[in-house]
Amino acid sequence: MAYKAEYIWIDGAEPTQKLRSKTKIMADDEIPGIWGFDGSSTNQAAGESSDCVLNPVRVVPDPIRGGANKLVLCEVLLTNMKPHPTNKRAALVTTAKKYAKHEMWFGIEQEYTFFDGIKPLGWPDNGFPAPQFGYYCGVGADEIFGREIVEAHSDACMVAGLTIAGTNAEVMPAQWEFQIGPIGPVECSDEMWLARWLLYRIAEDFGVSATLNPKPIEGDWNGAGAHTNFSTKQMRASYAPIEQACRALGEKWELHVKNYGYGIERRLTGRHETAPWNRFSWGVSNRAASVRIPWQVAVAKKGYAEDRRPNANMDPYTVTRLITDTVCSYAEKGGK
């Protein structure tokens, strides 16, 4: 029987790229191949030469339509088959290949917030809910809003074969998190974009929107980040390379912060479990540091580090590329 392939791609929206998708009906034995779209409607082309190319990079079962239907994550190419300027994946693939022998792994914690119209889901029409305290990993209808969507989303990620590692309710009510990884940089980033698409698509059926706004509510409410955990083969074997990676990130702190998501200075204030965006720090167990070495890593003397700076609205292709480049190039220069 014929099936549906949902072609998913990343547009040219500024300052933060958005997901788009459209449906292609496929013959039962047809394998998803290249396709096109109107780039003039996605900030990816001018009207007079509007065609852009969709090149499939990852095909997974479609957990929403079920059956033989597929989700087809694509990269965007120009009609000469070169990467489109908005295609951040191509540069990551190059960097990942260059440093393949370091066997980089990433685990990304994606925080997000459910909105019901103009207010976070479950918030009162006027005023605010009780101050932050009981919500993080909470239970009960007075503290938890949207769990049925979170459950449907994690089930969908599992059916799609994504490497989802877990979910939890966050510090601000209506804020949640899921984690992808640990897997290679390209795989982790592709899966993160697919998981984001599934989140928006599933919340749609509940009449709810999910947002990656890094600071959805000003004031005494936590922002939303995308803590990026990473390790090289060496970091997974001993401790000195972990400290070396932290120093490497310190040397390039400004390049990283500039590319960790729009509005980062609104979130990295030095309050609400963040370090100030312009003062790099690292430490064991420290959730007020830019980069944290988890306590169990310090005890085991091997493992990984957590870059706590990336915003929820970061591009995983860009963030994993920068970390791979900074950490691996520093290691190859002998930690100098």
Cβ pair 57, 73 in contact under 8 A: yes
For 27-31, the CB contacts below 8 A with 24+ separation are 27/2, 28/1, 28/2, 28/3, 28/68
Give 75 or 111: the residue with its C-beta nearer to ligand ADP: 111
Q: Tell me the number of residues near ligand ADP by CB under 6 A.
A: 16
Scanning residues 86 to 115, which ones bind Mn ion (CB under 5 A)?
109
Cα separation, 6 vs 24, in Å, equals 6
Cα separation, 47 vs 39, in Å, equals 8
Min dist CB 177 to Mn ion, Å, is 4
CA dihedral sign of residues 188, 39, 261, 169: negative
DSSP single-letter state for residue 27: -
Cβ pair 202, 153 in contact under 8 A: yes
185 forms part of the interface with ligand ADP (CB under 6 A): no
Residue nearest to Mn ion (CB): 227
Near ligand ADP by CB under 6 A: residue from 13, 165, 288, 298 = 165
236 binds, among Mn ion, ligand ADP, none (CB under 5 to 8 A by kind): ligand ADP
Min dist CB 132 to ligand ADP, Å, is 16
Near Mn ion by CB under 5 A: residue from 11, 62, 75, 177 = 177
230 forms part of the interface with ligand ADP (CB under 6 A): yes
Near ligand ADP by CB under 6 A: residue from 154, 229, 274, 311 = 229
Residue 270 phi, psi dihedral angles, 5° rounding: 95, -5
Q: Judged by CB under 6 A, which stretch of 23-31, 227-235, 250-258, 311-319 contacts ligand ADP?
A: 227-235
In one letter, which amino acid is 119?
K
Residue reference for tokens 């479950």: 122
DSSP single-letter state for residue 67: T
11 forms part of the interface with Mn ion (CB under 5 A): no
99 forms part of the interface with ligand ADP (CB under 6 A): no
Q: Tell me the number of residues near Mn ion by CB under 5 A.
A: 3
CA 31 to chain centre: 28
x-or-dash pattern for ligand ADP, window 283-322, by CB under 6 A? Answer: --------------------xx-x----------------
Strand, coil or helix: 247? helix
229 binds, among Mn ion, ligand ADP, none (CB under 5 to 8 A by kind): ligand ADP
Min dist CB 153 to ligand ADP, Å, is 16
Near Mn ion by CB under 5 A: residue from 102, 227, 267, 272 = 227
75 forms part of the interface with ligand ADP (CB under 6 A): no
Cα separation, 187 vs 105, in Å, equals 9
Min dist CB 150 to Mn ion, Å, is 13
Cβ pair 298, 1 in contact under 8 A: no
Min dist CB 227 to Mn ion, Å, is 4
Cα separation, 7 vs 129, in Å, equals 39
Near ligand ADP by CB under 6 A: residue from 12, 63, 107, 261 = 107
Strands 51-61 and 175-183: unpaired
64 forms part of the interface with ligand ADP (CB under 6 A): no
Q: Where are the alpha helices (DSSP H) in the chain?
A: 89-98, 147-159, 185-205, 240-251, 253-258, 264-267, 295-300, 316-332
111 forms part of the interface with ligand ADP (CB under 6 A): no
Residue nearest to ligand ADP (CB): 107
326 forms part of the interface with ligand ADP (CB under 6 A): no
Strands 209-211 and 70-77: unpaired
Binding site for ligand ADP (CB under 6 A): 105-107, 109, 165, 179, 181-182, 227, 229-231, 236, 303-304, 306
